[in-house]
Amino acid sequence: MAAWPKLKWDKEPTGPLKGIKVVDMATVVLGPYATVQLADLGAEVIKIENSEGNTPGDLMRHAGDSPTKQHGPIFAALNRNKKAINLNIKKPEDKAVLEALLEEADVFIHNVRMAGMERLGFGYDAVKAINPNIVYVHCAGFGAGGAYGERQAYDDLIQAASGFAALSEQRDGGRPTYAPSLVADKVSGLFAANATMAALLARAGGQGGQFVQVPMFECFTWFHMVENLWGETFIPGTGRMGYTRSVNPRRRPYPTKDSFIAIVPYNDRQWAKFFELGGRPGVFDDPRFATYQERTKHTGELYALIEEVTAERTTDEWLDLLAENDIPAMKYNRMADVLTDPHLADVAFFEEVESPVLGKYRTMKHPVHYAGTPVTNYAHPPMLDADGDEIRSALGF
């Protein structure tokens, strides 16, 4: 059995997954979003990339400008704390390197269609024969056995097929739109990271390795329908789907004298106090707003009244007044404002780091705090095949 290569990191990983060995054959967004969670938590992640074609490596390397022409902004965010090696596993010598890595790996994760992986000799049964204890995670587009099981999946396709893109049509009455975020990829990536850790926990409890399939369509539909199944939850259903509050067209930041503000009075006291502060003390005498159930039915009218009230003061005036009265509110930030948000500055969320290859760049701290096993950014996103020689040499190739 080949020994897992002893990797040299820029700093020592300290997170709760330190010592977990991951072979990462995932590309683009969904898979790398899962594996960067594992890497941030201290797992030793070796990223496998194919150098064939005109755009070698992970396609996200080439999306957007970068100083190296290999570190597109999304790639840089999703591939820190990883080592990189180029392998063309159609070649016997590169196939042997991957097999050697898998012998001692704890996790093998990829988003290649399973039929293709089986043709290449790295389906679950073949990998299990190499390492019976491995957790094999397949990030699929659609669950096996379903009508779409062999199709490709991308964020836009999943937003459309899950009904998520229909929310904007229901809210605004216009044509459906995609959310301006790779939300289906990232949500499914979080499912994949969670599933990987659950399977590792089961293995630690004596249940051995296993095959884990993470189907993007099902994961994102589950995420989306938690609140939006709504009137079709109980049978027979009402036909009304979409949580009434979240699909209301007036659910948006409210205008103030100088900008916008987000306000969410949630209990009866907060609602009554808000309208009292706004000079409308009689609003809650209206039976449409007197109880939580009635407010839910008449959300649109309630939001319209809020817009009238908020327009009478500046954002800062409202923030001070609402804070004094314990009513939840936040300033509306445009994206550039987030970079200087005082809370994020206090917790050092955005970090400016310097790499000998990339120069200065901005990254984000892992958002979860672990008191006993603190999480750190311990390695810069790698160049193509940056660690190929080191890994091959350590494996005896």
Taking only the tens place, the pLDDT of each residue in 335-355 is 999 999 999 999 999 999 999
pLDDT for 1 beyond 60: no
What pLDDT digit, counting tens, does each position of 132-157 carry? Answer: 999 999 999 999 999 999 999 999 99
Q: What is the pLDDT of residues 178-214, one digit of tens each?
A: 999 999 999 999 999 999 999 999 999 999 999 999 9
pLDDT, greater one: 152 or 53: 152
CA dist 199 and 211 (Å) reads 9
pLDDT at 16 > cutoff 90: yes
Cβ–Cβ under 8 Å, residues 75 and 63: yes
Q: Which domains does the chain have, with CATH numbers?
A: 21-223+350-395 (3.40.50.10540), 254-331 (3.30.1540.10)
CA gap 212, 355 in Å, rounded:
36
Q: Compute the average pLDDT of residues 239-257.
A: 93
Pick from 47, 106, 88, 52: nearest CA to 71 = 47
CA distance 239 to 359: 55
Residue 29 contacts by C-beta under 8 Å, 6 or more apart in sequence?
60, 74, 78, 155, 182, 185, 186, 189
Edge-to-edge strands, sheet with 329-331: 254-255, 260-263, 329-331
When mean pLDDT is compared across 50-64, 101-115, 312-326, the lowest value belongs to: 50-64
Predicted confidence (pLDDT) at residue 72 exceeds the cutoff of 80: yes
**Mean of pLDDT values over 154-164:** 98
Average pLDDT, the chain: 94
Alpha-carbon torsion angle 349, 350, 355, 357, nearest 10: 130
Whole-structure pTM value: 0.94
Q: How would you classify the pairing of strands 82-86 and 210-215?
A: unpaired
- Which pLDDT band holds residue 107 (cuts at 50, 70, 90)? very high
Please tell me the predicted confidence (pLDDT) of residue 2. Answer: 65
Q: Which residues pair with 49 in a beta bridge?
A: 86
For residue 176, how far is the Cα from the chain centroid?
23
Q: How far apart are CA 209 and CA 271, in angstroms?
A: 52
Give the pLDDT band of residue 327 (cuts 50, 70, 90): very high
Q: Name which residue leads in pLDDT, 120 or 56.
A: 120
pLDDT band (50, 70, 90) for residue 292: confident
Length of the chain counted residue by residue: 397
Cβ neighbours for 255, distance < 8 A, ≥ 6 positions apart: 307, 310, 311
